[in-house]
Amino acid sequence: MTRSPNPFRPLSGHQSAAAAGLTGLALCTALAATPALAQEAEIPRGESRWGIGLGADVRQQPYRGVDNASTGIPLVYFENHWVRVMGPSAELKLPSAGPFAFRLKARYSDEGYKPSDSAALAGMAEREDGIWLGGEVIWQTPYLNLSAELMGDASSHSEGRQFRLQADRRFDFGAFSVTPRLAAIRLDREYVGYYHGVGAAEATAGRPAYGGEAATNVEAGLRVDYRLDAKQTVFLDLRSTRLGSAIADSPLVDRSRVSGVRVGYFYRF
C-alpha cells in the first residue's frame, strides 16, 4: 500500500493482526505484575515463577474525535533470577550495586493511529506503534521506590526517546495492598513531532502544520491489589496523565489530560 510520506520520519506498512493483539497485552501486562512483585526478594538461581490471568483496559485517547480505547487481554508472566517477561515487555536483570538494581528492557507500545480513526485525522499518514529498547535503574529506599528509565524507539518509526522518573510506595493492609505512584515522562522532539505533529503535506485550513517540541507528561496513578489467596490476586489500576504543552497544543489533540483504568485477575503458579 502506498501512502503519502511523513516529513518527520519514514513510515512502514499497516501493523499485522498479531501486532494488534500485542497492543492490548502491552497496556495491561506492564502493570499487572510489576507493582505487586517489585518489592519481593530476589529470585534464587535455578528457580522460576509463572503467572497467567485476564484483564481489561479502558483509556482516553488525546486525538480529536477518537473514541476511548477498550481492550480485553490475557496476562502472561515469567520470571527467574536473570529475566522477567510480561507479555511483550521483557527485562534482563543486571548485577545490583547496593540498593540499586539495573535492568535492560524491551517493550512494545501502542502509540500509533490510523487516519481512519476519526474525521479529524483524515488525510494524515499513519503513525505506527513502536518497539522500545533501553535501560532502567531502580533505587529501593525504606520510604519510596524510585526509578529512572531511558528508552529509544528501536523500530525507527519516530526515532524518538523518552525518559521516565517514577516514585511509588506500596502499603499493605491485610489482604489488600495499595500502591500510589507519581511519574514524569520526558518525550523528545522527534517523538512529539512524529505522533502529534502535522507535516506540510498533511496540513489543511483547519489543521495547520505543526512540528512540536519536547514535552513532559506527568502521570499520577493508584493501584489496588486484593489477594484472594496465596496464588490469586485481583487488581484495579487508575491513572491520569497531564499532557505536556507541546502535545496539548497540537492541532490533532483536543484535551490536556487523559485518564484510564485497568482491572484484572492474576494467578501465580
Phi-psi region of 123 (alpha: psi -120 to 50; beta: other; left: phi over 0): left
Among positive and negative, which fits the CA dihedral 65, 70, 76, 81? positive
Q: Indicate the pairing of strand 232-242 with strand 69-80.
A: unpaired
Q: What pLDDT does residue 132 have? A: 96
Sequence-distant contacts of 108-111: CB under 8 A, at least 24 apart? 108/19, 108/22, 108/23, 108/26, 108/132, 109/26, 110/23, 110/24, 110/26, 110/27, 111/195
What is the torsion angle, in degrees rounded to the nearest 10, for the CA atoms of residue 51, residue 52, residue 58 and residue 60? Answer: 50
Closest CA to 15 of 124, 119, 128, 178: 128
**Cα 199 from Cα 134, distance rounded (Å):** 28
Give the cell for residue 13: 506498512
CA R_g for the chain = 19
| CATH architecture, domain 17-268 | Beta Barrel (2.40)
- For residue 109, the model assigns a pLDDT of 84
Q: Where are the domains of the chain?
A: 17-268
Residues in Cβ contact with 76 at an 8 Å cutoff, skipping those fewer than 6 apart: 25, 29, 51, 52, 85, 86, 87
What pLDDT score does 32 carry?
39
Q: Model pTM?
A: 0.83
pLDDT tens profile 143-175: 999 999 999 999 888 999 999 999 999 999 999
pLDDT at 12: 37
Report yes or no: 183 and 218 within 8 Å, Cβ to Cβ: yes
**pLDDT below 50 — which residues of the chain?**
1-39
What pLDDT, on a 0 to 100 scale, did the predictor assign at position 22? Answer: 38
* pLDDT of 19: 37
At residue 16, the pLDDT reads 37
Contact residues for 261 (Cβ-Cβ < 8 A; gap 6+) = 57, 58, 59, 236, 237, 238, 239
C-alpha distances out from residue 229 to 33, 232, 234, Å: 16, 5, 10
pLDDT of residue 187: 98
109-153 pLDDT tens trace? 888 899 999 999 999 999 998 899 999 999 999 999 999 999 999
